[in-house]
Chains A and B, each alone.
Chain A
């Protein structure tokens, strides 16, 4: 079974730009979560989607948004990038609530 696939693997953007990250979950998994990881803050929850519905959202500004498609693939978007948005963005999928979470390789975003 293929794992969670995230694209792109690396991204360099400048302040003010926007970025879209993509995530394909494990086949059969309908829940997709997004996390931001930085050395100072650790793993911070962004949002979770299940069957195209956002069920939970973390404490991030409205510049961070996401969506899920009918095939469970998910995208997250960050608009008006700031230097502090530089981080590893991780997508994870699971089979349902309280189920094990499996992470993709992540997208390393650098904002210059």
Chain B
């Protein structure tokens, strides 16, 4: 089946730093989504991307839909303690009902 690989697997950063993570696939996707999972909760949608090359922001978060349609990137600027959690990418092929989720990037923020 399709696989989405996220990197890094985990990261430990200082408060105020910018964060970058990415998601790559061997398959093409028509939609890319980024979710955040707080400890003990289910994932919540952060950003949705629908076109190759699209760059979309949500507050301090910016995500991009890769030109090849096989990757996506998420940046967090000026990280704060509440950014702690696991970030998942997810991809959707055309006409599908099923999202394919990435392996997740765990973010820890040091005060």
Partners in one complex: no
Residues of B within 8 A of A (CB): none
Residues of A within 8 A of B (CB): none
